[in-house]
Structure 1
Amino acid sequence: MENGFVDCHCHISAREFEEDLEEVIQRTIEAGVQTLIAVTEEVGEFDRVLQLSDRYPGLVAPCLGLHPLQACGNLEQRSVKPEDLESALPLFYKHRDRLVAVGEIGLDFTPWCAPTAQDREDQLAVFIQQLHIAKELDLPVNVHSRSAAQVTIATMREQGVSRALLHNFAGRPSVALEAVKAGYFLSFPPAICTNQQRAKLIKQIPLEHICLETDSPALGPDKQVRNEPRNIFMSCQYIADVKGVSSQTVQQATTNNAYRLFTRARKM
């Protein structure tokens, strides 16, 4: 079971994959990826990710969640508001038996995305409500934190969340170790391969708390090129190089970690 990769955070329901999804999935399988933990950002994506899990059973493991930033036309983004959750709430419960996690949820306090205190309060309210849903449904959470790592981790601990993945973690090593202490996992996409800061961070995180992700179609090795789940081997190799172990060691450890966290994905 643990011979392949698990992509712990990808957007396989994204529009960028609509044209050639079959080929993308074929390349994913050929690259040895056995599970795609597929997250959503907006309620409009919920159906699509569930359809994909029907179409590719055993490969696409669906998560439902509202991202802290929501689209508002022409590439503009705004902070999520509590009312955005209204149409999503019944869907978490309706599909509870199919979900492997609640995600992508979290906090994004980047100044131009959340310029006001109200924005940050709204994000926090939506995040906490989704943490409650995850606990109620006995599911882990798949979490985004940008310019908000400390608050994100503190909030999860305060809410009694014990199972979480912090995706594309870019906080300070001391903050990462807080997450480790809480029992959380941290994952890294192929874009880290060119980032020296991230190497210092990865060095300090025990392999038992690391997962692999692509965040495809974003965060690939080349900013201008669409990322795909097949690129997961790049994260694996990079982490292996930083830690001075074999890529097979990293692959096995991260896959074990992924199934320890996303227990339902193992049974799919």
Structure 2
Amino acid sequence: MHNNFIRAMDAHIHLDQYTPEDQQKLLSEAAAAGVSQVVAVSMRYDSTLATHALAQAYPEQVIPAYGFHPEQPLPSEESIAELLHWIREHQDERFAIGEVGLPYYNRIEAEATGQSFELEGYIKLLDRFVQLAHELDRPIVLHAVYEDADIACDLLEKHQVTRAHFHWFKGAPHTVDRMIRNGYFISITPDVCYESEIQDLVRAYPIEQLMVETDGPWPFEGPFMGQQTHPKMVLDVIRVIADLKSIPVTDAASILYNNTVKLYT
């Protein structure tokens, strides 16, 4: 693929989870390859501060998102109040709300070992973040898959938030239809290169509502086995999406890039 014609963005990466040396190296190599910007998401308060520092250090390349990742124990009221206060204090800056959502994988793991799992607290917390996205008029980055996506859709509709991005999404056809109708975006990871479920999703979802992401440093299989997850991998994702949509790679790249710019800038 001739990258000199390609401009791309990595719409979802945990940049703060890389070493400082790797952060600099990845951003520099990504820019050289045509991946001009990344959306760097946060896990909780300390991660939010780290992501904010990265956005200050690399203002041209890093679009930050601040939130609390749901695949961890619920925070205390004190710590969530601290995070929400901090986000509001910085509302004159550019950022998204995220990564927020519901703990599908932890819940499935708990239920598989016979443990009870209380989802209600996570739903209430997500409700507060959706409300915050509405209040500050920011895009929101969601970790909500399968049946959890329906709950997230309920909250987005309740608070009239339309600038929603479901990252690494998987879900039932009726949920996919609902998300398309509501204008929500999804982002596709490198697993589209070897996962038929994700390839089917790309075929079903309008390219005007698609973006590409790595979710780095999360590792991938197939052709990426054993490699450090790099923003440049979105170029492979673009190539596969172009193939699945039967359009030229340059056209796919342009649409996917413009979608991300539209949502995040």
For normalisation by structure 1, the TM-score amounts to 0.87
Indicate conservation of the 8 Å contact 1:220/1:228, yes or no: no
Cα gap change, 1:197 to 1:80, in 2 (>3 Å): farther
Match of 1:73 in 2: none
Equivalent-residue separation in structure 2 for 1:113 and 1:128 (angstroms): 23
Instruction: Report the alpha carbon displacement of residue 82 of structure 1 after superposing the two structures with TM.
Output: 4.7
Match of 1:129 in 2: 128
Match of 2:228 in 1: 226
Indicate conservation of the 8 Å contact 2:42/2:67, yes or no: yes
Instruction: Report the alpha carbon displacement of residue 219 of structure 1 after superposing the two structures with TM.
Output: 4.6
Indicate conservation of the 8 Å contact 1:67/1:80, yes or no: no
Instruction: Report the alpha carbon displacement of residue 248 of structure 1 after superposing the two structures with TM.
Output: 1.1
Cα gap change, 1:90 to 1:169, in 2 (>3 Å): same
Residues 1:261 and 2:263 aligned together = yes
**What's the Cα RMSD here?**
2.0
Indicate conservation of the 8 Å contact 2:110/2:116, yes or no: no
Match of 2:186 in 1: 186
Size of the alignment, in residue pairs? Answer: 253
Secondary structure of 2:154's counterpart equals helix
The structure that is helix-richer by fraction is 2
Equivalent-residue separation in structure 2 for 1:83 and 1:161 (angstroms): 26
1:10 to 13, 19, 22: 13
Secondary structure of 1:139's counterpart equals coil
Instruction: Report the alpha carbon displacement of residue 21 of structure 1 after superposing the two structures with TM.
Output: 2.2
Instruction: Report the alpha carbon displacement of residue 80 of structure 1 after superposing the two structures with TM.
Output: 5.0
Secondary structure of 1:179's counterpart equals helix
Please, which runs of 5 or more residues in structure 2 have no aligned partner?
none
Please, which runs of 5 or more residues in structure 1 have no aligned partner?
71-77, 264-268
For normalisation by structure 2, the TM-score amounts to 0.88
Query: Where do 4+ consecutive residues of structure 1 move more than 6 Å?
Result: none
Match of 1:246 in 2: 248
* 1:131-156 superposed Cα distances (whole Å, 9 cap, x missing partner): 11111111010111134122222222
Equivalent-residue separation in structure 1 for 2:252 and 2:74 (angstroms): 36
Secondary structure of 1:235's counterpart equals helix
Cα gap change, 1:204 to 1:24, in 2 (>3 Å): same
Match of 2:207 in 1: 207
Secondary structure of 2:15's counterpart equals coil
Match of 1:88 in 2: 83
Cα gap change, 1:259 to 1:214, in 2 (>3 Å): same
Equivalent-residue separation in structure 2 for 1:24 and 1:91 (angstroms): 28
Residues 1:143 and 2:138 aligned together = no
Percentage identity across aligned positions? Answer: 26
Indicate conservation of the 8 Å contact 1:210/1:254, yes or no: yes
Match of 2:170 in 1: 170
Match of 1:156 in 2: 156
Equivalent-residue separation in structure 1 for 2:199 and 2:76 (angstroms): 35
